[in-house]
Structure 1
Amino acid sequence: MPKSSGWSRVVVLFCFMFALTAPCLVVVSGTAAAMVAAQEDDPATLPEDRIQDLILPAEKAFSGDVKEIRQRGVLRVLVTYRKGDFFIADGELRGVEVELARAFAAWLGKKGGKKALPVRAIFIPVAFDELLTALEQGKGDIAAAGFTVTEARSARVPFATPYLRGIDEVFAIRKGAPVPTSLDELAGRTVHVVRGSSHEQHLGELNVRLAAQGLAPLNIVTPSADLQPEDLFDLLGTGAIDLMVADSHRARLWRRAMPDVQVLPSLKLKTGQDIAWAVRPDAPGLLHEVNAFFAADGGRAVKKAAGLLERYYADRSWHVEGLNRKFAARAKRLYPHFIRYGDTYAFDPLLLLAQGYRESRLNQKLRSPRGAVGVMQVLPSTARTMGFPDVVKEAVTNIHAGVRYLEYVRSDYFSDADIREPDRTLFSLAAYNMGPNRMARVRERAIRMGLDPNRWFGNVEYAALRYVGREPVTYVAQISSYYIAYQGSHAVTGARRPVLEALQK
């Protein structure tokens, strides 16, 4: 399973998998035994897993070809969590690669004859830069992750018939940044890309050319092995980064949802690229079947892929929201309180600001159907057990109560030495949303699933998805995403308190 790598990891897995939802209305738990009893989550057992056996870790290798795959009735598909390609929503697997892989598995089963077992697709999430290695090791049968076919990749594994052709690698830039008109004008600029991507490789080749011309090289930044182009595009839209590379078909679709991003279609890093599945090297029969699938019925599957991309990537609700002008005034007014209580309880005030934005859009007047109130959506009964008699009237008291509760959860439930930051804080955020006792049961389930109970991303979050649902995972991911976006703006200001002035632009 992919491992987390600190706060830079946080944007990747899920903020971009799910639609942004209304502010969180889930009640929080208390700060003492009596409060926990009053506020605790549903004591019933965790719900049955709706996607049991559809997502598995990459474990044992398997070297059989088509015959053995049909006998097993399972096609193992290596994927990366990626908005639009592979994600989970409402307990269901969704995305372009999910639908294509399922269609291929069904097609493969039918070709085996009437007495053959049906073949189903089982999905194995792997970090993007580990996909080909996992495929070479036999931990999957195909890798479906929007791969650009390159010479270096083709030297390692075979690629099937492309389902997208003629794709260009283009640049996208945040609104207001200097717009380059040629590749030479990129000299000295910072460009963000996904680690292990063809974009990173091709930018490296461009640097060689720039050096030969006596020009300054690009500063190529790969924030995390788990960040995907969609994640970078979101950060570009919030102004946290300036420049990135994207495949033209995705950039065209993203641009519809991001008015603060400019795509530069005439500034091409690479042209005429193909997108295809990679196939396990020791399965030539499987490669033949994949090629036959994409060629069947006049290329019906290829047409299906184009339609799926249009449908999934046109959903603008997946994108991360910046702290725009509508909420900037609230943030500027409330940020001193987040600073004060962040210092008191040892939390980054930008993280707390991100949580308040996710909870209520910083609206002290917000009331949930279950009685939670204010900026931090605290239950008045919970607040009273912590010594806050009134969290309805004043935002400062509401913020204090919410941060105090978050600190209680962190210190009382996640103080083990085996849990390190940022996971202690990530667990605390998840428990704020779902309740600490339910969180404890999710960690136990993670152990049974062979996951690390002391790591959130790539581990306990998978158990939360399977046994609780998307809400806590979305909650943590969105707060983390806002936090990174705010940090990006904060870094530009060079000072702590003026960050909101940058966010207002």
Structure 2
Amino acid sequence: MRRVWSSVLSVFLLVFLLGAPAQARTVSTGKVAATGASHPAMQQADGAPYDADNPPDRLRVLVALGPSTYFLKDGRPHGLEFALLQGFESELNRRRTKGRPPIRLQFIPVDAGELIPALREGRGDIAAGMLPYSDSLKSLIRPTEPYAQDQWCLVSHRDNPLTFDQLGQKALTLNSASYGRRLLAIEGKEVALDEPPQGSNAEMLLRDMNQNPALQSLSSRWVYRLWSATYPSLKLSECLNNTVSLVWGVDQDNVALADDLNRYLGSKNRVTMEKAIELTRRFLISGAQIERSDKISSMDKLAIFAPIFQAAAAANNLDWLLLAAIGQKESKLTPMIRKNGPTGVMQVNPSTARAMGIRDPHGNEGNISAAALYLNYLRKMYSREGISEDNQLYFMIAAYNAGEGRLQQLRRKAKAQGLNPNIWPGHVEQIALQSVGRNMVDYVSTVNRLYLAYQATEKARNKQLDSK
């Protein structure tokens, strides 16, 4: 039971409360939506090779989940890699044909060690995680031109500034996965190394050094600059000689996408690392640990609702993290009770609850159960229609937002216009944008983003617990 609750808390601590709740809406059958048992990787609409003159509506970015690279705060994505690649998304949309849905980068957070394997397995189109260029990297993927040059430097407390010659018997504290270890070996620096506590990351080491003058470490110059205002007692001193080129990666055969990224990096519209730091710094999460939050009430909320989410999901063969993501979007996990219209944590219409056999739509258990029952109903319906699992999830979320009947109308309209009524990205989505507006499209995108982040954090947390 302790493991379940610990995992529950860690998931919510990454994704804090989302903005305002979704507006009340009427669903054709009075029902509400849910999602599938696991989140598929977002696929391009047609699987065709990348065409710079006609980019796909979706590009999947495998991004390293971390306090500097990519994180969610108040339900919104931030991080250096997010800021850098938002410029690429904007560049793609500047040359987009008017009337077409906007191109969106779908960020899929993964552990940093999974970036390259996931890209090679085809689970994403771009790998982003402050990747250092090397010949060995080039043998695995196609790297872009560098988007920044980095250095690794000694960092210590201001009361104890150091150079490599002054280290003496003092040890550097470095994570086992730190790229600084490789650079030390390349430059022949013989330095004693200590391992930090298990589960630590580079940003947490900066936090610890800010409080403890006896500690010293190596840090990326960019990461240090990002956190320097948060940890003002730190001092950057001597740097290693070798500079490190930071790159993105694509599949080795995806020359066109690499060329398009390189054109962006060479353009005046590119987001520089300095700008990315400026955009990210004010959203940094205190403690340099994405699972942590000072908002105890936020932790309590998911701890309260998690057992209900889990029970309702298990009864309907759903992923409880999907229910949590929808509840987050709908109400910030704060039940809003209405006698008429959407109500409760999942904002279910009372008529929906009755159609699902739930008498009390206002109580938490009945409200969440009604949502889970309806999502299961939608999934079965779309499965019978031969819709792929990927698109079942899209349609379930879309129907949850706009109504089952409205979605059917959009699908019929898509078919009439020569689009595929069984595919959301670039097909039914395009009709939704024209007929309903951006809110519906953004709703589907936001819930998917939250769901992906929940799953990534849960996986990372379970991996950490298994290692103990």
Classify the TM-score, shorter chain: 0.5 to 0.7
Which residue of structure 2 aligns with residue 309 of structure 1? 277
Q: Per the alignment, in what secondary structure is the counterpart of residue 139 of structure 1?
A: coil
| Distance verdict in 2 for CA 1:443–1:202, change over 3 Å | farther
* CA deviation map 1:85-125 (0-9, x unaligned): 32223333333333433432343355465686642111111
What is the distance in 2 between the residues matched to 1:437 and 1:18? 15
Q: Is the contact made by 1:80 and 1:126 (CA closer than 8 Å) also made in structure 2?
A: yes
User: Which structure has the higher relative contact order (CA within 8 Å, separation 6+)?
Assistant: 2
Which residue of structure 2 aligns with residue 295 of structure 1? 266
Select the residue among 219, 243, 250 that pairs with 2:223.
250
Task: Tell me the amino acid that sits aligned with residue 255 of structure 2.
Answer: P
Task: Tell me the amino acid that sits aligned with residue 180 of structure 2.
Answer: H
Q: Is the contact made by 2:87 and 2:271 (CA closer than 8 Å) also made in structure 1?
A: no
* CA deviation map 1:105-162 (0-9, x unaligned): 3433554656866421111111011111111111111112222223332332222122
| Distance verdict in 2 for CA 1:184–1:155, change over 3 Å | farther
| Distance verdict in 2 for CA 1:440–1:245, change over 3 Å | farther
Which residue of structure 1 aligns with residue 173 of structure 2? 191
Which residue of structure 2 aligns with residue 219 of structure 1? 194
Query: In the alignment, is residue 231 of structure 1 matched against residue 204 of structure 2?
Result: yes
State the shift of 1:286 in Å. Answer: 0.4
Q: Is the contact made by 1:442 and 1:467 (CA closer than 8 Å) also made in structure 2?
A: no
| Distance verdict in 2 for CA 1:245–1:209, change over 3 Å | closer
Which residue of structure 1 aligns with residue 393 of structure 2? none
Q: Is the contact made by 1:47 and 1:467 (CA closer than 8 Å) also made in structure 2?
A: no
What is the distance in 1 between the residues matched to 2:33 and 2:214? 41
Query: In the alignment, is residue 168 of structure 1 matched against residue 176 of structure 2?
Result: no
Q: Is the contact made by 2:68 and 2:223 (CA closer than 8 Å) also made in structure 1?
A: no
| Distance verdict in 2 for CA 1:312–1:99, change over 3 Å | closer
* CA deviation map 1:280-303 (0-9, x unaligned): 22211100010011112xx33044
State the shift of 1:189 in Å. Answer: 1.2
Select the residue among 283, 286, 295 that pairs with 2:257.
286
Q: Per the alignment, in what secondary structure is the counterpart of residue 140 of structure 1?
A: coil
Q: How many residue pairs were aligned?
A: 321
What is the distance in 2 between the residues matched to 1:239 and 1:47? 52
TM-score, normalised by the number of residues in structure 2: 0.53
1:63-74 map, 5 Å:
64-67=48-51, 70=54, 72-74=56-58
Task: Tell me the amino acid that sits aligned with residue 246 of structure 2.
Answer: I
| Distance verdict in 2 for CA 1:306–1:13, change over 3 Å | farther
Select the residue among 135, 147, 150 that pairs with 2:134.
150
Query: In the alignment, is residue 94 of structure 1 matched against residue 78 of structure 2?
Result: yes
Task: Tell me the amino acid that sits aligned with residue 160 of structure 1.
Answer: T
Give structure 1 stretches of 5+ with no counterpart. Answer: 20-44, 211-215, 323-353, 360-376, 378-428, 485-505
Q: Per the alignment, in what secondary structure is the counterpart of residue 130 of structure 2?
A: strand
Which residue of structure 2 aligns with residue 318 of structure 1? 285
Task: Tell me the amino acid that sits aligned with residue 288 of structure 1.
Answer: D
What is the distance in 2 between the residues matched to 1:449 and 1:465? 20
Q: Is the contact made by 2:301 and 2:333 (CA closer than 8 Å) also made in structure 1?
A: no
Identity %: 17
CA RMSD of aligned residues (A): 5.1
What is the distance in 1 between the residues matched to 2:168 and 2:41? 40
TM-score, normalised by the number of residues in structure 1: 0.50
Which residue of structure 2 aligns with residue 123 of structure 1? 107
1:417-432 map, 5 Å:
430=299, 432=300
Q: Per the alignment, in what secondary structure is the counterpart of residue 318 of structure 1?
A: coil
Q: Per the alignment, in what secondary structure is the counterpart of residue 285 of structure 1?
A: helix
Select the residue among 169, 172, 182 that pairs with 2:164.
182
| Distance verdict in 2 for CA 1:243–1:284, change over 3 Å | same
State the shift of 1:172 in Å. Answer: 1.9
Task: Tell me the amino acid that sits aligned with residue 168 of structure 1.
Answer: Q
Which residue of structure 1 aligns with residue 116 of structure 2? 132
Which residue of structure 2 aligns with residue 440 of structure 1? 308
What is the distance in 1 between the residues matched to 2:141 and 2:118? 11
Task: Tell me the amino acid that sits aligned with residue 142 of structure 1.
Answer: I
Query: In the alignment, is residue 263 of structure 1 matched against residue 236 of structure 2?
Result: yes
| Distance verdict in 2 for CA 1:56–1:160, change over 3 Å | farther
Which residue of structure 2 aligns with residue 23 of structure 1? none
Q: Is the contact made by 2:142 and 2:251 (CA closer than 8 Å) also made in structure 1?
A: yes
State the shift of 1:309 in Å. Answer: 1.2
Q: Per the alignment, in what secondary structure is the counterpart of residue 240 of structure 2?
A: strand
| Distance verdict in 2 for CA 1:116–1:445, change over 3 Å | same
Q: Is the contact made by 1:87 and 1:93 (CA closer than 8 Å) also made in structure 2?
A: yes
What is the distance in 1 between the residues matched to 2:47 and 2:165? 44
Which residue of structure 1 aligns with residue 183 of structure 2? 202
Give structure 2 stretches of 5+ with no counterpart. Answer: 18-29, 335-452
Task: Tell me the amino acid that sits aligned with residue 172 of structure 1.
Answer: V
What is the distance in 2 between the residues matched to 1:105 and 1:260? 37
What is the distance in 1 between the residues matched to 2:201 and 2:53? 30
Q: Per the alignment, in what secondary structure is the counterpart of residue 143 of structure 2?
A: coil
* CA deviation map 1:277-334 (0-9, x unaligned): 12222211100010011112xx33044x421212312x38632299xxxxxxxxxxxx
State the shift of 1:257 in Å. Answer: 1.7
| Distance verdict in 2 for CA 1:141–1:301, change over 3 Å | same
